A and B are shown apart, each in its own frame.
Chain A
Amino acid sequence: MLRNLSIRRRLIVIVVGMTFIIVMAVAYIALSGSRGLMRNQIIYAILEHNQTLANFIDGRMQTAAATTRSLASALTRQNTLPIPILWQMSSNSMLDSEGLIRRINVYAPFREGHQSLIFDYPLLPARTASFTQLIDNKIEPDIWFMQAMGQQGLTWHGPERSFAASFGPPVMSAAVPYYGHSDQALGVVWIDLPASMIEQEMQKAIGTNPLGRRSYSLLVTADQLPIATYRLETENTSEQAEPLNKSQIQVVLESIANSGDFRELEGFLSWDSALIVRSVLPNTGWQLVSILPGELLQNPIDSNILQTAFVVIIGMLAVGIVVERIATQWLAVPLNDLTVAAQEIGFGEMRYQINHQNRGDEIGMLARALEDMKINLNYSYEELDRWGRTLEARVIERTHELELARQEAQDNAEELQAVYDASISVVGDHQLPIILQTLTERIASLLPASYCAVWLLTSDKQHLQLVASTSEDMRLKDLNISIDEGLSGMTVREAQPIILEDYARWPDRLNVENPDMHQAMGVPLMFYNKPIGSVVAGRRQDDPVFTPDDQRLVTLVANLLSPVVRNAQLYVRLGEAMKEASQANDVKTRFLASVTHELRTPLNLIINNMDFMRIGVFGEVNDEQVMRLNQTTRSAEHLLYLINDLLDVSKIEAGEMQLFIQPSDPLPMLEDALDSASANIDKERPISLTTDIPPRLPSVPMDSRRIRQVITNLLSNAIKFTFEGEIKLSVRLHTEHIEFSVKDTGIGMTADELGNLFKMFERTDQARQLGIEGTGLGLAISKYLVEAHGGEMRVETEVGKGSSFIFTLPLRHDPDEKSKKRVTAIMMPVEL
């Protein structure tokens, strides 16, 4: 049971427990022969006891107040919304280690008398509960937390209904204002302590029952508004004890309102008289009022026990508090420091100084172990960082390898296609049976023969299948036999023409065959000296016998037939191979599409946080920090572009790049592209971004998201390769098309570089040497997108002078086959 408590609470439990044991012992001694005490001494002891309880409760409230102060100081001078800070602090279990707090609230007015922000942040029962952020303007101007903003330091409020859960039970709220850079109050943070929680604290304080009497305790504010009550029961009592009702509370409070801290009340509850004592909680100013039975003053033995017990309790509590303080100083504080250190290190704060390392005890060992861990972790982080840097290079390298492998597979397929094209005729899978059927009938009439059939070897090379026959016997349809059977099997086995003059009595003849067949001839179908099937012909009893001339005729036809059959079979296999390749591409695209979602989500946070930080939304940043943030933002954006480009390439290759072409006004799209381009220009470089765009443009049939992508890509390239001068975006209108151009005064390109410019994964030597980031995909994709619109892209450049990228889009959309074919040809980066 003790295992789940903090060290501090364990100490409190131990101290209270020991106090109880000693009190029992002393009481036993006192019972056996002590004298009565003076009435005043008893009253004094009761008051002392009550004050001790009040101090304990007050101490617990101070713990909660300290949490509020630390929240306020965390929010002070941050100049940002409290959400991210609260979000981070809520994951810190130290925030509410005492389990006192139910909610954290923040009131943050945007402008005085205007919008306000209230975070209602439930800590209990579930820390994982989502929080709701309200930005609203319906806050009453006289509500207490607006007034709390104008006060210095911590103020207590309540008992109120919890603000956020307006139907919730009464709470006491500890509120502290927080400040901006100019020490002007920005808002108020407060925590809610439910009355039920405070009652539990009272129970912990009063806990044991040294009096042996039933008693009541009542906690009220300085204005004597009741906060919580507690009823202490006697053990083994048969009395029915009701909690104090409202009117009884009223009587108690009135009785003590204008008198001192002690009062005797006649005929209260079921008692002849009641003793009312009051103590003030030193920090909160609340009052602890206890109601005890009056008989305590009449019974000397009890009084004696009482007095002795109180003295011992006070003594023990004093000793206990000292012990608790020392132990806290020696154990809890260093452990707390180390926990904070472990968290900081966990967050990656490697420069965090770990204290207590020079202590000789277990705390020192823990601190030194933590220091070792920090060093190891730091080393691991650096290692990870090194890996991260090589990873990107590897991804590109690997993708390039995949591209080469795909190209090789494609070359093979094309070779098969070429063989096929070179053969005597184009025969598809479905055409082959028709051709074979025609041929068998032609052979039968040429010879002539009463029967003719073609058998083909199956893929396992152990069976023959009847694929064409002049017989109308349905049993023969698709007949499948072993190559050990029949004349067709023997012909294939021996790979020689065979004539059987007495076929009627040949023992191996197939029993399904026409009994009229009296003589038969088999000729193998040969392809590159290997049998792939056979042609079988038969004659009736009175027909002339098969001659060598008949055999030559059938052999001739068989030789013509073989490549056709073979090609048809290859064609089927080619089709299957093409289908598999296309499926592999589809899977890759679907995989990339889902991965990019997972990558864009964190990039949204990274890019935007750095952007807002850079422009000072989260507080002032110096020039060095702005420069670093710029660098980091560019890297994050580069990563995003890489992801987008890889997905685009994958879609193009899988033939899944769809354009949503519809008439659109180019102006908003151009403004949008210029917005992001101007934000990307390095402020250190003397570059001006200018435009030459007619004030009005006709609507153009295009996928404006994709054309924006093209223009953004061209502008971004221009910005990367231009160190001074001008970047100009121009639009010209012609009769048949619209022309966009991005002209820069950058480093330009050589003729060699120009040759590979639009190829995938190709980057210019200058780009590499200057360390300019890029995927080598942007221009290839841009060119594809323009051409898929039926437009054209070209480049004009001179080394050292600059480059112009010009592209056109037709003003009338013509989704004809010609442009599509051309695009496909361009996208296959095959160098034959």
Chain B
Amino acid sequence: MEEIDLSRISALIVEDDAGGMAIIGVMMRYLNIKAYINTTGEGVIEMARAMKPAPNIIFLDIALPKSNGYDILKLIRADANFSKVLVIAVTAQDADNEIPKCKEAGFDGFIGKPISRVRFPRQLRRILSGEAVWETY
């Protein structure tokens, strides 16, 4: 697989759990990826619009305090600027239940929690090269 330069990626992460947030922050720094973290699920589109460069990929948690990943995905897809951006579900929900729902809703992939430091870089590269990744620990 050709190596994709991850430092050129701009990522937007929607994650409400403090621990999960800290870990994905460490992961993004470890991989040298520019990332914004949205901690509530509110104002995701506004944050994406403000990002320079615009996000290539959005990691979306499913269970969020005031909203959920599916509703946020609808907002993202409804915006002409982001209708093509890659949106990946990152969640601790049961994969057998959630993966069919995520496929139906139009997510581009699924990475179950816990995310793995060893596997994540290759998963990310596969997603960016257009491959379907629907995986769990």
Residues in A lying within 8 Å of B, measured CB to CB? 80-81, 83-84, 87, 110, 115, 130-138, 593-594, 596-597, 600-605, 607-609, 611-612, 615, 617, 640, 644, 647, 651, 656-658, 660, 668, 671-672, 675-676, 678-679, 705, 708
Known contacts A604-B20, A660-B100; A133 and B25 CB within 8 A of each other? yes
From A87, A656, A705, B22 is in contact (CB under 8 Å) with A87
| B residues 24-72 in Cβ contact with A at 8 Å | 25-30, 32, 34-40, 52, 63
Bound-complex Cα distance A628 to B123 (A): 28
**Are the CB atoms of A608 and B29 closer together than 8 Å?**
no
Q: Which residues of B contact A132 (CB under 8 A)?
A: 36-39
Shortest C-beta distance, A407 to chain B (Å), equals: 25
Apart from the given pairs A115-B34, A134-B36, 17 other A-B contacts in the complex at a CB distance below 8 Å:
A80-B26, A87-B18, A132-B36, A135-B35, A597-B63, A597-B92, A600-B92, A600-B113, A601-B20, A603-B113, A605-B20, A608-B23, A608-B114, A608-B117, A612-B117, A644-B137, A675-B119
**Are the CB atoms of A601 and B118 closer together than 8 Å?**
no
**Are the CB atoms of B119 and A81 closer together than 8 Å?**
no
Q: Which residues of A contact B95 (CB under 8 A)?
A: 705
Q: Which residues of B contact A137 (CB under 8 A)?
A: 34
Bound-complex Cα distance A675 to B133 (A): 15
* Residue-wise interface mask of B (73-107) relative to A, using a CB-CB cutoff of 8 A (1 in contact, 0 not): 00000000000000000001111110110000000
Bound-complex Cα distance A617 to B117 (A): 12
From B39, B63, B117, B119, A672 is in contact (CB under 8 Å) with B119
**Are the CB atoms of B40 and A130 closer together than 8 Å?**
yes
Q: Which residues of A contact B22 (CB under 8 A)?
A: 81, 83-84, 87, 605
**Are the CB atoms of B122 and A672 closer together than 8 Å?**
yes
Bound-complex Cα distance A676 to B121 (A): 12
Q: Which residues of A contact B63 (CB under 8 A)?
A: 597
Bound-complex Cα distance A678 to B116 (A): 13
Which DSSP category, helix, strand, loop or mixed, fits chain A's interface?
A: helix
Shortest C-beta distance, B82 to chain A (Å), equals: 19
**Are the CB atoms of B29 and A110 closer together than 8 Å?**
yes
**Are the CB atoms of A647 and B94 closer together than 8 Å?**
yes
**Are the CB atoms of B26 and A675 closer together than 8 Å?**
no
**Are the CB atoms of A671 and B19 closer together than 8 Å?**
no
Bound-complex Cα distance A612 to B134 (A): 24
**Are the CB atoms of A605 and B119 closer together than 8 Å?**
no
Among residues of B, the one whose C-beta sits closest to the C-beta of A680 is B118
Among residues of B, the one whose C-beta sits closest to the C-beta of A668 is B126
Q: Assess whether B124 is interfacial by the CB under 8 Å rule.
A: no
Q: Which residues of A contact B18 (CB under 8 A)?
A: 87
Bound-complex Cα distance A609 to B26 (A): 9
Known contacts A133-B36, A705-B135; A605 and B19 CB within 8 A of each other? yes
Q: Which residues of B contact A640 (CB under 8 A)?
A: 114, 137
**Are the CB atoms of A135 and B113 closer together than 8 Å?**
no
Among residues of B, the one whose C-beta sits closest to the C-beta of A679 is B118
List 3 A-B pairs, minimum CB-CB distance, nearest first. Answer: A605-B19, A600-B92, A604-B114
Q: Which residues of B contact A708 (CB under 8 A)?
A: 135
Q: Which residues of A contact B28 (CB under 8 A)?
A: 135
Q: Which residues of A contact B112 (CB under 8 A)?
A: 600
Among residues of A, the one whose C-beta sits closest to the C-beta of B116 is A676
